[in-house]
Every structure is written in structure tokens, then in C-alpha cells.
Amino acid sequence: MAPPTTSTFLDAGDMRRLVRHEGLAAFTAAVAARIEREFLRWEDFDKRARTAAYGPEGVIELMPVADRTQFAFKYVNGHPGNTRRGLPTVMAFGVLADMATGTPRLLAELSLLTAIRTAAMSALAARRLARPGSRTMALIGNGAQSEFQALAFRDLVGIRTLRLHDTDPAATDKLVANLRHQGLALHRAATAEAACAGADIVTTATADPRHAAVLRAGMVAPGTHVNAIGGDSPGKTELDPALLADAAVFVEYAPQTRVEGEIQQMPADFPVTEFWRVLAGMHPGRRDAAQVTVFDSVGFALEDLAALAHAAEVAQRLGIGRPIALVASPADPKDLFGLLSVPAQAGVQAATEAA
């Protein structure tokens, strides 16, 4: 008998139920822990840069990664103009499959989970790269990612004060309304430069699809940690090259980041450190209290595998999700064509019995 090929499907409502049941803080912390665990197995994975299809209005990407037991991929788009159409800028879904058989085991909505894993990764990096005792963060770009970043930094890093700036005041209004009861001191800033004043950490999460200098070298004080998450495709950056030149820059997967990240602006041999080396104790991370550190984060498939695996475990434990026949499963695995004859035969038999 052929092994079962039934997959579990988690739709947007299921993912919301998972997170609400666990609590966002606990769920984010668990994803961060899972990411750290998988990054410490870095050499076990077959890694590659994501595949992207670029159009005049945005990008659609596929992000694969695998080890000996599991394969994962994420479909994700980035269309900054979508909000004018009433659509999210980022939409995503993902798959987990068995490497031994190729059987897809999980199909899941990932827009919400992508925001959580991005925030978890940011906080994980900041715990190793920001100065101990960092309590104030500038958050430049107050769109869909901002609340997740704010709360992850509150819970996992210890941030207590946010300095907020967005070119769209309505975005900051939204952020303030969502976080007003979350134990954070919220301060609006008229400019990005004003937001950076007194900040231990600066997070940039803008959606401008151009080469931009949202953050310039003179805007950050010595010792600042910069968490740059908005630049994630060729031609889309947020940081002044002069800032990068004077900083210690950390990345997820260098071959991908050199094409899509802030360092696309720098020479091909510009020195960067893959963050897994810090987790593994192969690099000290921040070297002193005055050093400016930059986490040039574009998102990497290994983070999605970690988030998917955690979601799958929680869903199984709670009985959330439903089985679907995502792929064909003929009784005789060599007779795929036979599937087409089953309905016809069943129909003839039913008609004969009725007569």
C-alpha cells in the first residue's frame, strides 16, 4: 500500500488561532528559539538565494531550503503600491515536505507568520549585537511590520521606549493605537533624524522601492545598533553607504544579501559576517560599546522553515488545520491515468443500479 499523501492545510484563520492561543509574545519567542536552533545547524542545510521575478510594480519570490529530512519553500511578494488597491504589500504562503519521499506535509498561509519570524529574527540579532541595557528604539517606517518589531524588541531585547517616524502620519496613528496598552512609551518624531536622537537601536522598515538614504551616517550615535529590514530587493535600500562603511555589518546569507540587501551598494568584497557565526561563537559580534553594528536583514528561507516547523507542531498539538489531498494519490502508484477512469466507472455503475 502506498504511504499516505494527505497534507495539512492552515489558512489565515487557522494561523490567527494558533498565535492567539499561544499568545503573540510566547509564539514570537518560540520562533526566535527555533531560528537560533536551526542557525546553529547551518552546515546541515542546502542553502541558496531566493528566485525572484521582478515587474514594474513589485516582485514575486520563491525561497527554498532543505536539510536531510525536510524541504521548505515560501512564496512571497513585495508590492509597495498594493495599499492603494486595498491589498497588503506582502502576501505569502509556504510548504513543508518530506525529503525522503517528496510528500508535501503542510501548506500554510504565511503573511502573518512572516511578520512574526521577521520580528523574531530582528530581536535575536539585536540580543547579540546591540549594547546590553538598550532600552530605546527608533522605529522608522510604521507600516505592517512595525507592531511586530516593537513587541518582539520589548519582549526579547528589553526595549521600553519607542521613537516613531513615518512619512505617512496615518501609519504612525495606526501604530500608536495598536500599541497604546502594551507598556511602551511612544513618542512621535517629525523626522527620521529626530527619531534617532537618543536611540540605542534604530529599526528601518520602509517600503520605498528605490535607493534611499532613510538613515544617514550622521544620524546614528556611536554604539547604535541598526536593524535594517526594509531593503530586500535589487535597487531598494534604506541606508547611506557611508554608514555601512563605518559599521560592522552582519547578514543572514551573504550571497543573497549582496544582491538584495543594503550591501548591494558596496564593493563586491565589502566585509560582512553571517550571523550564524555569532551564534556559533565563531565571531564575537559587537567588539566594543562605541561600535556601530548593522543587521542587514533581507529574510532567509531557513527562518521560514523554522517558523513553519513551529507552526506545524503547535497546530498538531491543538488539532488546528484540516487534511487536504494536495497531490494525487492513486491506489496503484504506477497507474496515475487510472484516476481518470474511476468517476466514469462509478457513474456507469450508479446508472445501471438505478435502472
pLDDT score for 342: 66
Cell of 239: 541606508
Cα–Cα distance for residue pair 164/122, rounded to 1 Å: 17
pTM of the entire predicted model: 0.92
Cα–Cα distance for residue pair 117/123, rounded to 1 Å: 10
pLDDT score for 35: 98
Residue 68, CA distances (Å) to 41, 43, 101, 340 in order? 12, 11, 11, 35
Contact of 3 with 92, CB cutoff 8 Å: no
Q: Domains in the chain, start-ordered, CATH in brackets?
A: 7-112+303-344 (3.30.1780.10), 131-299 (3.40.50.720)
From the candidates 232, 240, 296, 304, give the one annotated as an active-site residue.
232
For the question of residue 166 being annotated catalytic, the response is no
One digit per residue, the tens of pLDDT, for the chain of length 355 reads 345 788 999 999 999 999 999 999 999 999 999 999 999 999 999 999 999 998 988 899 999 999 999 999 999 998 988 989 999 988 999 999 999 999 999 999 999 999 999 999 999 999 999 999 999 999 999 999 999 999 999 999 999 999 999 999 999 999 999 999 999 999 999 999 999 999 999 999 987 767 778 999 999 999 999 999 987 778 889 999 999 999 999 999 999 999 999 999 999 999 999 999 999 999 999 999 999 999 999 999 999 999 999 999 999 999 999 999 999 988 899 999 998 986 644 433 433 343 3
Q: Is the C-alpha dihedral spanning 85, 87, 91, 93 positive or negative?
A: negative
- In 291-309, which positions are buried (b, 16+ CB within 10 angstroms) versus exposed (e)? bbbbbbbbbbbbbbbbbbb
pLDDT score for 234: 86
pLDDT score for 210: 73
